[in-house]
Amino acid sequence: MCHCGFAKRKKTKMGNGGPLSWPTILYQPISRNVSRLGRSLGYDGGKRSHHYTPTLTLFSPLPISTRITSYTFSPATFFEVTKPIQLPITKPCSTFLLQHDFGYTYGSPPVTAQYSPPSNCPSTDFDKIVLEWTATCKGRQFDRIFGVWLDGVELLRSCTAEPKSTGIVWTVKKDITRYYSLLMKNQTQTLSVYLGNIVDSTYTGVYHVNVSIHYYPTEKYTKTKTKTKSLRLKSDHGYNQRADLIIPISRNSPGNDGLWFEIQNSIDVNTKQFAIPPNAYRAVLEVYVSFHENDEFWPTNLPNDFNTANNLTGFPGNGPFREVIVSLDDKIVGAVWPFTVVFTGGVNPLLWRPITGIGSFDLPSYDIEITPFLGTLLNGTLLSELT
């Protein structure tokens, strides 16, 4: 693959309304590529009341002076069942990037921190790079969508766990080795984190977040007494190759609700221009998609004609099918049929304690191979448009 830079506009269309996310383009001129785009953020806005606060009454025959009046509980650990990341046996170099308390952050710009490759590692060649997100929360709160970007390239899209009155903690680890060329740029870049949260007298949960990256040096082993070879582990995500250049396709910073694009309905279109290097020989577009508001439970949405014929109001429409169409210079180059991800507040929050739904802590992205269109992209035009 070859990672090259493009400058064309991109469009992403959704088949049946609702907010969607955007792709990132991964180009590989000399090795491989990856890039992706941000997606729409949905504020639950109090649309669900999936929070249950049971009351426990204790009756004790003991004298008042000996009754237990306070209890101490450890926070519950929530997790998603996933395939473990295949790690080398080498000791990682770890970099702590950001700590922030996300209180009332809805509509605010992303929290940012400076990023540069680790300078204190004994090695500069890494087999695996892992992003770690750890958060705690206590009180009552909705599930919130959040994203992590590096210079506009989305590294992680996820959903927060819904807390309990006694507190919760959860950790998300994601293999981000495919973004190697971006992560190892010898320059200072901007790490952005957006988590739109609402805190008031009812929803009291504040998310206390730590973000780190772990770099695992290349594992060496001796095959013979005279010959040493390095063992390069395969990436757990997407292609096993690394892109030479990764170009972000996301909203420009600062965005007051994240760097993703929001698609409101089936005719809503977002575009962005990009430029691709002339020596590119492979290009891959990575698309992130998540659904919110009236589209959060889109597999159960009714057709509009049915709602009209039965005088149904207040029921989400547009039917139970969703498709994201990607066009390049007004020519369709791919489509995505998103996986049905149920967030941690979906259907009944008690279903997702402590094990959350598939993909809820690490929403899937979708790769679209656009290498067949390089002939058009490299025809001398400086800019292309992605829709």
Task: Report pLDDT digits (tens) over 52-81.
Answer: 333 333 333 444 344 444 446 789 999 999
Reported residue count of the chain is 387
Give me the amino acid identity at 238.
G
CA distance 375 to 281: 10
- pLDDT at res. 336: 93
**Chain-centre distance for alpha carbon 144:** 12
pLDDT of the residue at 78:
95
pLDDT value at residue 232: 54
24-28, 76-80, 150-154: range with lowest mean pLDDT:
24-28
User: CB–CB of 142/159 below 8 Å?
Assistant: no
Mean pLDDT for all residues in the chain = 79
Beta strand 168-175 with 126-137 is antiparallel
pLDDT in tens, 193-233: 999 999 999 999 999 999 999 999 998 754 444 444 444 55
What pLDDT, on the 0 to 100 scale, is given for residue 233?
52
Task: Please tell me which residue, 356 or 238, carries the higher pLDDT value.
Answer: 356
Which residues 6+ apart lie within 8 Å of 153 measured at CB? 24, 35, 36, 179, 182, 246, 247, 248, 250
Rounded to the nearest angstrom, the gap between the alpha carbon of residue 361 and the centroid of all alpha carbons in its chain is: 8
Q: Report the alpha-carbon distance of residue 315 to residue 5 in Å, rounded.
A: 44
Q: How many Cβ atoms sit within 10 Å of the Cβ of residue 215?
A: 23
| pLDDT class of 254 with cuts at 50, 70, 90 | low
Asked whether residue 25 carries a pLDDT value surpassing 90, the answer given is no
Which tops the pLDDT comparison, 62 or 249?
Answer: 249
List Cα–Cα distances, 32 to 90, 139, 313, in angstroms. 25, 45, 49
Q: Which pLDDT does position 196 carry in this prediction?
A: 93
Phi, psi angles (nearest 5°) of residue 193: -130, 125
CA diameter of the chain: 88
The predicted model gives 142-153 an average pLDDT of 95
pLDDT of res. 383: 64
> Are the C-beta atoms of residues 196 and 238 closer than 8 Å to each other?
no
pLDDT in tens, 76-128: 999 999 999 999 999 999 999 999 999 999 989 999 999 999 988 888 899 99
pLDDT given at position 264: 83
What's the confidence (pLDDT) of residue 29?
A: 42
Determine the pLDDT at residue 375: 86
Higher pLDDT, 136 or 4: 136
Predicted pLDDT of residue 122: 86
Percentage of residues in the chain having pLDDT higher than 70: 74
Residues 162 and 345: beta-carbon distance below 8 Å: yes
DSSP state of 166: T
Question: What is the distance between the alpha carbons of residues 293 and 291, in angstroms, rounded to a whole number?
Answer: 7
Of residues 282 and 32, which shows the higher confidence score?
Answer: 282
pTM of the model: 0.78
Domains of the chain: 76-265+341-366 (2.60.120.230), 291-325 (no CATH)
pLDDT(17) > 70: no
Question: Comparing C-alpha atoms, which of 47, 127, 48 is closest to residue 89?
Answer: 127
H runs (alpha helix) in 250-371: 304-309
What pLDDT, on a 0 to 100 scale, did the predictor assign at position 378?
A: 83
Identify the three-state secondary structure at position 352: helix
pLDDT tens digits along 312-358: 988 899 889 999 999 988 889 999 999 999 999 988 888 999 999 99
CB contact burial 108-122 (16+ within 10 A = b; e otherwise)? bebbbeebebbeebe
